[in-house]
Amino acid sequence: MREDFVFHILNDQYAKLLELAERCPADGRNKVPDGFNNSIHWHVGHVLVSTELHIFYLSGNMQAMTLPPEYMAYFGYGTKPSDWFNEPPAWEALIDQLKTQPVQLQEWLKDRLIQPVKDNFFSAETFGGLVVSTALHASYHVGNVSAMLKALK
């Protein structure tokens, strides 16, 4: 896989999520509209957490993770805002991380996309496959956030 193509797919989903997040009114970030299970705040945090999990955990490189460990409790798989025990990480911090995470990943993965990774639920065989699968997962959340913004109106 060509690096520029693979990273374009991921960067495109992050750009869409950022654009939607910027359109989200402050009073709507933590609302869970009827028919949804999570808030927009959760979806943004989940994209960050799941991306690190997909890339670093599934590749066996947990030491490369950059997000604070408590993010897992707020935005990991199986979590939801109704279970939050304290205030979640600040919206502004999530937005800043959403802007920088793709750049950090691209730097870390430069020239590594064809390296094999361990067996995983994506059936990805290389880092490149993990990046593409992660972009598809982010796309799912972009769709949810888009629908939630419409529901909040």
Report d(CA 135, CA 6) in Å as an integer: 9
The stretch 92-105 carries a mean pLDDT of 96
Mean pLDDT over 107-112 rounds to 91
Beta carbons of 75 and 49 less than 8 angstroms apart: yes
The pLDDT-based confidence of 126 (bands split at 50, 70, 90) is very high
The three-state secondary structure class of 61 is coil
pLDDT given for residue 1 in this prediction: 56
* CA 116 – CA 149 distance, rounded (Å): 39
The arithmetic mean of pLDDT across residues 19-43, rounded, is: 96
For the segment 101-109, the average pLDDT, to the nearest whole number, is 93
Q: Which residues of 117-151 are buried (b: 16+ CB within 10 A; e: fewer)?
A: beebebebebbbbbbbbbbebbbebbebbeebbee
DSSP conformational letter for 90: P
pLDDT of 134: 96
CA atoms in the 13 A half-sphere facing the CB of 17: 32
Predicted confidence (pLDDT) at residue 99 exceeds the cutoff of 60: yes
C-alpha 128/C-alpha 109 separation (Å) is 9
pLDDT at 43 over 80: yes
Cite the DSSP H helix spans in 32-126.
Answer: 40-52, 71-75, 91-109
Instruction: Walk me through the domains of the chain, giving residue ranges and CATH numbers.
Output: 3-152 (1.20.120.450)
User: pLDDT: is 64 or 144 the higher one?
Assistant: 144
